[in-house]
Every structure is written in structure tokens, then in C-alpha cells.
Amino acid sequence: MRKLDFGAFFGSNKSVATPRPNQLIRPLVHDLHAYVPGEQPKIKGLIKLNTNENPYPPSPRVLSAVKAAVDGRLRLYPNPTSQPLREKLARLHGCQPENVFIGNGSDEVLALATRAFVEPKSGSKNRRSAKAIVQYFTPSYSLYPVLADIHGAGKNAVALEPDFSMPDVAALKRGQAWNFDAALTFVTTPNAPGGRGYATADLEKLCRAQRGVLVLDEAYVDFAKENALKLALKFPHVLVARTFSKAYSLCFQRVGYFVGHADLISALDKIRDSYNVNGLGQIAAEATLGDLKYYRTCFKKIIATRAWLSRELTKRGFRVLPSQTNFILVRPPLLPAKAWLQALRDRKILVRWFSAPEVSDYLRITIGTQAEAAVLVRAVQDLVSSLG
Ligand SMILES: *Cc1c(COP(=O)(O)O)cnc(C)c1O
């Protein structure tokens, strides 16, 4: 066999420079600021209230379903469309499997929506065309601008009211910053990190006025008074995003989904990975739907702890915003929020602080168990007494 002549590939010039890795990366990617997830430290005895995980474990039925599935079948590919799970979700929501799209966490479905519905700026004739715009309120889920940047799309960030309520449609029209033609609009409802719930009637008014795709990101809706799922079945341009992560104690398994018009769902289906949802995740999510009673009991406990913790922190000088989620946004007294973050960390309690100016005076605290909330209140009491 003839030896390969690499000289032929690289030219006869022996002083070929090897490429520098940085030159191989697209400029857009080189300049990206990646999403910063909350810390997952492994500190013994840490009370972890920073990433809105559920403090209660999944249902025993979910754990046994997952364990029972761990055998030689791991060598097989999972169901490519997560069909059994789609069917179960369709029954739950009163729609057809064609109205349900399952993803590797709801983060994946949000990313796929960006790719399916938004033109990159470079691909649209007018670089400021609404076709190339991802729109969202601020503050809300900080992944949305990252998704726009990854895709090379434009961003339209519109401020919520100072108390984190949503401006109504008339105010959005008056304000002129809102783009009713934006290709894709994300609304976190209930909101994060503010925690406020938005009335379905108000969301419906926005749906009526909006002409591009509107995603209602309901990651926290099980802790709220109402949900807007019916809007995804009523309007062809509205998708509701849900996740098993937060309310259903399944962050580890990465399962989220959209409900919406079959045409939008089949567009997403074309661009996803063939086996985008892992098999154990599908099994865990299906078993979750078989034991919703267990989860409703957990929601009640979290909502009760939320009310208790809100009262106790208010008594100690915190400004606590009303919450319909499994976290509260609070403005602490006496010290800057960032100093509180450290002081609590020194006591092995981890909460979340964001540097964005609209929220940098606040801490976001995940609602843990009642016992964890009690430890937090004791630590806060100690700090307030020593400072006050
Ligand atoms: C946590 C969260 C998600 C992501 O959920 P995954 O299903 O775990 O990817 C999406 N949207 C919001 C607003 C969230 O807080």
C-alpha cells in the first residue's frame, strides 16, 4: 500500500503553521457570554436554597420505575419521539399527542424554539427586522438573551414595572419599546426571579395583541393560583413550556415540554436530535404522571412554608415580594444583599444573588422544607440581632 503523502495535503512548504484553536471558532461563539447556572457545591450539611430545586424527593413510584428500568436495556435507543409520554401528557392537558413536544429539559425546548422561529440577523435582509428578534421582559429568566446570542438573533429586552408586575397591553403600546411583531417572545409566568403570578386574562390580552410566536414559560406554575395552558390550545402562535424539574423533583433527569399548535410542534420535531430525551427521563416522567396526588401534597407543603417564611422574614425587616413560585425574592435590611449572601453562606445556607442592577438589592431564596426554612430564620435572627 502506498504511504500517504501528507506533503501533498499541506503543500510542499514545510513551514506550515498549525492553526491556532481560537481562529477555528466562529467569532459569534468566541465572543459569547455563556449562561451562568447556580452553583452546585458539594459542601456537607449545606442548606441549598439557590437553584429552585424541590426539597422533597420524587414519588417512591418514580424511583422504583427508574430502578426497574436499569438493566441490559440501557444498550437500546429510547423512543425517538417520547411517544408514550406525549400520549399521557395529551390526556392530562386535553389535547392530542401532536400538540406536545418533549425536550431534554425545558431549556432545550426554549433553545429549539429560537432556532425554529427566529432568523439570525445575518440571514435576514434587514438586520433589525422583527423576524430576527427574541423578545422578553427584564428581569426574567436570564437564559433568553443567551439563546438569542447563540443564534445570532437580535434581542428586545423590555422592563417590567418596578414592582415586577407585567405592563398591560395599553402600556406596552404607549411605551413603544415592545415589538408586537417580534419573531419570538418569552414570558416567564409566574415570573422569575420576581415570583409574581400573572393573571391568565392579562396574558390572553397579550396573546391577542402579539403577532409572532409567544412562549409562556410556566416552569413554576404548579405553585401558582392559575395556569395559562388553555391559551396554547386556543391561539395558534402560543406555546406553553412546562418542566418536570422544579415541581416534580426531576431536575436530574432533564424532561420538559411544549404544548401548542400541531404545525409549530412538527416544525420543532424536524430540528431536534433524533433521540433528544433519554430513556430513563421518559420513564421517570411517565411514572410521575401516574402519581400526581403525591406531588400535590408536596406543592401544599411548599406553599405553606412559603407563607410562613415570608411572614418571618418580613417581621425581621426584609421586604418580601409576593410569590406564586417555589422561591421568594427579598430585599434584606442593614447590609447589602451581596453581603447577606456571604453571611448566610458562612452559616452553610446558600441562596442566590444576581448582579443585574434591577435585582442586585435582592436575594432569591428557594423554598426548602419547613425545617430548612426554620434554620434560615434562626440564622437571619442572629445576624439581625448582631447588626441591629
Ligand atoms: C428552571 C427553569 C427552566 C428550565 O427548566 P429545565 O426543564 O430544568 O431545563 C426554564 N424556565 C424557567 C423560567 C426556569 O426557571
pTM for the whole structure: 0.93
User: In this structure, what are the phi and psi dihedrals at residue 102, rounded to the nearest 5 degrees?
Assistant: -100, 140
What pLDDT is recorded for position 12?
A: 52
CA pair distance 309, 376, nearest whole angstrom: 9
CA pair distance 143, 105, nearest whole angstrom: 13
CA pair distance 239, 270, nearest whole angstrom: 17
Q: Supply the residue whose CA is at minimum distance from atom 14 of ligand 1.
A: 219
Mutate to test the pocket of ligand 1, among 52, 53, 106, 143 (most ligand atoms within 8 A of CB): 106
C-alpha cell at 183: 419573531
Could you tell me the distance, in angstroms and rounded to a whole number, from the CA of residue 386 to the centre of ligand 1? 37
Could you tell me the distance, in angstroms and rounded to a whole number, from the CA of residue 3 to the centre of ligand 1? 54
Q: Supply the residue whose CA is at minimum distance from atom 5 of ligand 1.
A: 106
CA pair distance 366, 246, nearest whole angstrom: 11
Could you tell me the distance, in angstroms and rounded to a whole number, from the CA of residue 173 to the centre of ligand 1? 29
- Strands in the chain per DSSP E: 47-48, 100-103, 133-138, 154-159, 184-188, 213-217, 238-243, 256-259, 319-320, 327-331, 349-350, 363-366
Total length of the chain: 388
Could you tell me the distance, in angstroms and rounded to a whole number, from the CA of residue 219 to the centre of ligand 1? 6
254: left (phi over 0), alpha (psi -120 to 50) or beta: left
Pairing of strands 184-188, 256-259: unpaired
- Residue ranges and CATH numbers for the domains of the chain are 47-56+293-387 (3.90.1150.10), 60-290 (3.40.640.10)
What are the C-alpha distances in Å from 162 to residues 194, 245, 279, 328?
10, 29, 44, 16
CA pair distance 372, 382, nearest whole angstrom: 16
Q: Which atom of ligand 1 is nearest to the CA of 188?
A: 13
Q: Which atom of ligand 1 is nearest to the CA of 110?
A: 10
CA pair distance 210, 117, nearest whole angstrom: 14
- Strands in 299-342 per DSSP E: 319-320, 327-331
Exposed e or buried b per residue across 248-282, where buried means at least 16 C-beta atoms within 10 angstroms of its C-beta: bbbbebbbbbbbbbbebbebbbeebeeebbebbbb
Q: Which atom of ligand 1 is nearest to the CA of 107?
A: 9
Q: Supply the residue whose CA is at minimum distance from atom 11 of ligand 1.
A: 219
Amino acid at 21: P
* DSSP states of 9-27: HH-S-S-PPPPPGGGGS-H
Pairing of strands 256-259, 100-103: antiparallel
Mutate to test the pocket of ligand 1, among 243, 248, 249, 325 (most ligand atoms within 8 A of CB): 243
Question: How many Å is the Cα radius of gyration of the chain?
Answer: 23
Could you tell me the distance, in angstroms and rounded to a whole number, from the CA of residue 111 to the centre of ligand 1? 11
Q: Supply the residue whose CA is at minimum distance from atom 2 of ligand 1.
A: 219
Low-confidence ranges of the chain (pLDDT < 50): 1-2, 4-10
Could you tell me the distance, in angstroms and rounded to a whole number, from the CA of residue 245 to the centre of ligand 1? 7
What pLDDT is recorded for position 8?
A: 47
> Cis before residue 193, ω within 30 degrees of 0?
yes
Residues framing ligand 1 (Cβ under 6 A)? 105-107, 141, 188, 192, 217, 219, 243, 245-246, 251, 256
Could you tell me the distance, in angstroms and rounded to a whole number, from the CA of residue 279 to the centre of ligand 1? 20
Could you tell me the distance, in angstroms and rounded to a whole number, from the CA of residue 21 to the centre of ligand 1? 33
